[in-house]
Amino acid sequence: MESNFDDTRLFDYTDAELIEHIASLPHLHNFSNIIPLSSKYLAKGYAENELEDVVRATTFASQLGVHVPFIQRIVRGDDSLYCIMDRVSGTTLDIAWPDLGWMTSLRLAFQLRSVINCLRSAVSASAGSLATGKCRSFFLEDSFGLPPRAKPSEVDGFLNFWVNFVTPRQEIKKTPADHSMCPKPALPYTRSFVFTHHDLAPRNIILDRKNQLWLIDWDCAGFYPRFFEHAGMFNFIPSEWTKFALWRWNVFAWIASGFYNKERWWLEIIRSRFMRFRTARRFNMKANGYAAAAARVDSDL
């Protein structure tokens, strides 16, 4: 079935009619939940428990002066939920980056630095998304996660648990006293959290025709430690980039988000450990240890 979606009738269509248009159109390559409707609008599908956080984050970023796609309408179907938003005209940096020169790269780095500083001007005493407080960070995703609006001590406990983790066998052998205190904290003590896009991969930054940067995909946004933004800039780096393009991106990320190489290195190790041993924190949780805070209970405790 072909779609004859009409931009000028966006607010005249019923939800059912828009769902029908969305169902008849192809999704973007590699993004099954993103459907271009026209040259002006696209639809992006969300789960019910994600939508409010995304809308709040996008709206808040816009209020801070950040270039973001404007959400025009929310559409509900029987088993589907979509945001209809503006389609930003430009090229994502995963495509544009290899052809940019040094001067342009540096100019864009300082532009993004200004944007990130705007985001970081908003602080919170608790971590997580803006509406529900859920911690959707890909650096906090073991089997149990963290509770909504996690405190600084809870985020620190999670991260430093995985910094010090060796094997499940060693966790089993620990006494309650061992579980009560972190042996070697490796990451800086968190006092508060800053508003963070959290997924500034090249594919989520659009360069428009006026050389202005637009940030898209606010699905993971929330309040997190400052260094999370820097670490998130190294996700989904195109494999075909040359060493020179990669080196320019490193400099770009340092200027834009700060020099957090040590912290990024630790976050990569932490993620690799809990992806392999997803339930290893259960022994600390059972002992009500320093890393016991969790969003999900362990049925085996």
Dump pLDDT digits (tens) for 26-40: 999 888 899 999 999
Q: What is the mean pLDDT of residues 110-133?
A: 98
My answer on whether 230 and 98 are in the same domain is: yes
Query: Is residue 291 one of the residues assigned to a domain?
Result: no
pLDDT at 222 exceeding the cut of 60: yes
Give the percent of the chain with pLDDT over 70: 99
My answer on whether 265 and 197 are in the same domain is: yes
Instruction: List C-alpha distances in Å: 113 to 103, 121, 213, 257.
Output: 15, 12, 11, 6
Query: Is residue 11 one of the residues assigned to a domain?
Result: yes
pTM as predicted: 0.95
My answer on whether 128 and 215 are in the same domain is: yes
Query: Is residue 295 one of the residues assigned to a domain?
Result: no
Q: Which residues in 142-172 are b (16+ Cβ under 10 Å) and which e?
A: bebbbbebbbbebbbbbbbbbbbbeeeeebe
Q: Which of 86, 105, 128 is the last residue of a domain?
A: 86
The confidence score (pLDDT) of residue 2 equals 56
My answer on whether 74 and 140 are in the same domain is: no
pLDDT digits (tens, 9 = 90+) for 80-112: 899 999 999 999 999 999 999 999 999 999 999
Find out whether 149 and 192 touch, Cβ atoms under 8 Å: no
Q: What is the domain extent for residue 34?
A: 7-86
Q: What angle do CA 23, 61, 212 make, to 5 degrees?
A: 85
> Total domain count for the chain?
2
The confidence score (pLDDT) of residue 300 equals 63
pLDDT averaged over the chain?
96
My answer on whether 109 and 214 are in the same domain is: yes
What does the block give as tokens for 245? 């393009």
